[in-house]
């Protein structure tokens, strides 16, 4: 009970700041617009033919790409979890939190919760923008809510990873560099922007193992086709599983780093 | 009545092998202002962090309000407040948000947080600015807010680690006035570390000097100063012509006088065990009898700096010089960061 309470207030602190930072809010909205408007329009000819439509599963490249943009946004947002711990350690706030009688587990959980709520808000914004660009989500409101939930859980994975790294990395710059080192390849070695069948063999092999591909699967299915559980559940299971694993890892690493 | 803090044989060895605290013992009475003095790396912060449950002791008995801190960490946390050396204020939150979140972390109900935060912000003269982002606060305001936050849950014992480090003289004075008020108005026990010896002298009931993890002296500031060898009275006479030897013998016979030495400029230095201000009238009375005039007199009492020098073999100033520079650099960095 205390854990939930403490987690909420750790997260609330981050969320107050998230909504206060107007620039970050605007960038959050502008980024998907840029992706969808430029990249989407450039690539639209690719799917504008029967062959392309079959390969991508839709004749609307924007609809194909929207799940990719969603994943990309939550992929890059996860780093903020670790960053806020690095920052708190630097200004002494982390110590202050630990001097309070809160459940220590609430600190990493709260940071991740904040990241996941921010992710959900960003994804909701992307869905609205994509709709304005003419993308129709085949599963309607229900599907959109599941998409938001899955994307939000996925940002929890990245938050867990960045929190775990933050235990031993003491500067924000280094943490950013290390996180980008694997988020960019994860992004491009996946089916987020192009179907796996278009990739050279070696890349396709990597892409099939890539967790981003697993996450794109159910979201794309819900966007383009419908409630086909056989295609939704495996990906959803991987997302939930990895979220639990990395939440656990971030807990362990944090408890170890703060017990002296 | 049990003591607020009792420490016996406290040892802390860090995982990397550094022995930060090496078997210290002391107690702090309820309502006492207790100062822990010592240079950087002497073990002051480590001691505080162990007492509030941030670090685990390697060995030793520790009790707060008679309760073993290892057995009941949560209870100890509720009984103690802590303001670290760095002012741990989130500068993208307002003063009000900072203090009310702190209340949440101490599991206070919302209503109590509102009342208590209002009371504390008013006491520390921050209430008018409560809705401003703390990025706009001055260094002194941030420190005050930090202490106010540490008081949100009405702790009985307040731990302050270097509360005046890097602040200007006026602000330091103000912080100490607040600390005094906490004791007089709330009967709070205050455990403070500082390296400003004058401050410790004026405000602490008792001080412990810690050096390389060991307590080398512990007493009231006056007793410590008296202990290291007395006040020095500097006097200049006129009309002694040829009676120097007799005068010196007579002064030497005055109560508490240890010895009399001539100085290079023809005056005398009278070393007194203690209470030099009480010896001066006796010198005047003596000179009256002898028909000698006193032209000038001054009294120098040993300072805590002298005490520190006596016990550690080096001046606090030398040990602290690099630390001051370090603190200044940190503050400048902080300003640059906020300026961005």
Domain boundaries of chain A, sorted by first residue: 2-257
Nearest by CB to residue A101, choosing from B86, B91, B107, is: B107
pLDDT tens-digit profile of B165-210?
A: 888 888 888 889 999 999 999 899 999 998 888 889 989 999 999 9
Lowest model confidence (mean pLDDT) among A173-177, A235-239, B19-23, B268-272: B268-272
Lowest model confidence (mean pLDDT) among A183-197, A207-221, A222-236, B318-332: B318-332
| Domains defined for chain B, CATH in brackets | 5-225 (3.40.50.300), 230-300 (3.30.70.100)
Secondary structure E strands in B136-213: 157-161, 189-194, 206-211
Residues in chain A with CB shorter than 8 Å from the CB of B77 are: 99-101
Mean pLDDT over residues B263-270, rounded?
Answer: 80
**Partner-chain contact A95 B14, CB within 8 Å:** no
B94/A contact by beta carbon, under 8 A: no
pLDDT over 70 at B332, yes or no: no
A–B CB contacts, 8 A cutoff, strictly below: 65
Closest-approach residue (CA) in chain A for B330: A91
pLDDT tens-digit profile of A183-200?
A: 888 888 998 888 888 888
B22 in helix, strand or coil?
Answer: strand
- Closest-CA distance, A84 to chain B, in angstroms, reads 11
10 Å CB burial of residue B249 (0-12, 13-18, 19+) is: exposed
pLDDT band at A41 (very low <50, low <70, confident <90, very high): confident
Mean pLDDT over residues B255-272, rounded?
Answer: 80
Q: What is the ipTM of this complex?
A: 0.88
**Partner-chain contact A102 B90, CB within 8 Å:** no
What confidence score (pLDDT) does residue A54 get? 76
What confidence score (pLDDT) does residue B331 get? 64
Nearest by CB to residue A99, choosing from B82, B92, B101, is: B82
pLDDT tens-digit profile of B218-251?
A: 999 988 888 877 788 888 887 777 777 777 888 8
pLDDT over 70 at B104, yes or no: yes
- Could you give the CA distance from residue A100 to residue A92 in angstroms, rounded to a whole number? 13
What confidence score (pLDDT) does residue B340 get? 41
Element (H, E) at B112: helix B110-123
**If contacts are CB pairs under 8 Å, which of residues 2-61 in chain A contact chain B?**
2, 5-6, 9, 12-13, 16-17, 20-21
**Partner-chain contact B89 A91, CB within 8 Å:** yes
Mean pLDDT over residues B5-15, rounded?
Answer: 94
What confidence score (pLDDT) does residue A76 get? 86
pLDDT over 90 at A245, yes or no: yes
Element (H, E) at B60: strand B59-64
Residues in chain A with CB shorter than 8 Å from the CB of B15 are: 260
Q: Mean pLDDT score of chain A, rounded to an integer?
A: 89
pLDDT tens-digit profile of A77-87?
A: 888 889 999 99
């Amino acid at each position: 009970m205390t854990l939930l309470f403490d987690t909420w207030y750790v997260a609330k602190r981050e969320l107050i700041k998230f909504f206060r930072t107007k620039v970050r809010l605007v960038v959050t909205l502008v980024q998907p617009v840029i992706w969808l408007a430029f990249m989407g329009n450039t690539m639209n000819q690719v799917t504008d033919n029967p062959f392309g439509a079959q390969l991508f599963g839709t004749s609307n490249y924007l609809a194909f790409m929207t799940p990719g943009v969603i994943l990309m946004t939550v992929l890059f947002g996860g780093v903020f979890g670790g960053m806020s711990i690095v920052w708190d350690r630097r200004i002494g706030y982390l110590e202050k939190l630990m001097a309070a009688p809160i459940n220590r587990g609430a600190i990493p959980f709260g940071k991740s919760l904040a990241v996941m709520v921010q992710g959900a808000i960003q994804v909701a914004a992307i869905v609205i923008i994509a709709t304005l660009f003419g993308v129709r989500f085949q599963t309607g409101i229900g599907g959109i809510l599941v998409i938001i939930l899955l994307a939000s859980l996925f940002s929890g994975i990245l938050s867990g990873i960045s929190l775990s790294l933050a235990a031993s990395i003491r500067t924000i710059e280094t943490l950013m560099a290390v996180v980008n080192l694997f988020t960019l390849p994860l992004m491009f070695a996946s089916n987020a922007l192009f179907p796996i069948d278009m990739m050279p063999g070696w890349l396709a092999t990597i892409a099939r193992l890539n967790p981003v591909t697993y996450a794109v699967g159910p979201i794309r299915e819900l966007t383009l086709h419908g409630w086909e559980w056989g295609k939704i559940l495996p990906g959803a299971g991987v997302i939930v599983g990895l979220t639990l694993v990395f939440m656990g890892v971030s807990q362990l690493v944090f408890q170890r780093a703060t017990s002296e | 009545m049990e003591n607020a803090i009792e420490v016996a044989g406290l040892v802390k060895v860090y995982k990397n092998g550094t022995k930060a605290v090496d078997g210290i013992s002391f107690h702090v009475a309820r309502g006492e202002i207790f100062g822990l003095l010592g240079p950087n790396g002497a073990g002051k912060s480590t001691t505080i962090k162990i007492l509030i449950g941030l670090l685990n002791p390697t060995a030793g008995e520790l009790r707060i309000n008679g309760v073993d801190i290892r057995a009941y960490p949560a209870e100890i946390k509720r009984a103690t407040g802590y303001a670290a050396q760095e002012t741990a204020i989130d500068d993208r939150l307002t003063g009000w948000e900072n203090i009310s979140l702190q209340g949440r972390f101490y599991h206070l109900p919302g209503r109590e947080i509102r009342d208590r935060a209002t009371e504390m912000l008013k006491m520390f003269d921050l209430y008018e600015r409560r809705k401003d982002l703390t990025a706009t606060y001055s260094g002194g305001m941030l420190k005050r807010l930090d202490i106010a936050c540490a008081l949100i849950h009405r702790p009985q014992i307040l731990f302050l680690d270097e509360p005046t480090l890097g602040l200007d003289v006026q602000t330091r004075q103000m912080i100490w006035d607040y600390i005094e008020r906490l004791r007089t108005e709330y009967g709070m026990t205050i455990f403070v570390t500082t390296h400003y010896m004058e401050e410790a002298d004026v405000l602490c009931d008792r001080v412990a000097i810690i050096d390389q993890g060991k307590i080398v002296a512990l007493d009231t500031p006056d007793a410590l100063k008296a202990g290291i060898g007395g006040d020095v009275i500097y006097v200049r006479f006129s009309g002694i012509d040829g009676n120097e030897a007799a005068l010196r013998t007579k002064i030497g016979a005055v109560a508490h006088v240890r010895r009399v030495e001539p100085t290079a400029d023809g005056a005398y230095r009278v070393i007194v065990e203690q209470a030099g201000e009480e010896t001066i009238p006796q010198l005047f009375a003596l000179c009256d009898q002898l028909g000698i005039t006193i032209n000038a007199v001054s009294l120098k009492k040993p300072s805590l700096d002298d005490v520190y020098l006596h016990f550690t073999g080096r001046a606090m100033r030398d040990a602290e010089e690099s630390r001051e520079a370090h603190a200044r650099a940190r503050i400048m960095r902080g300003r640059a960061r906020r300026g961005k």
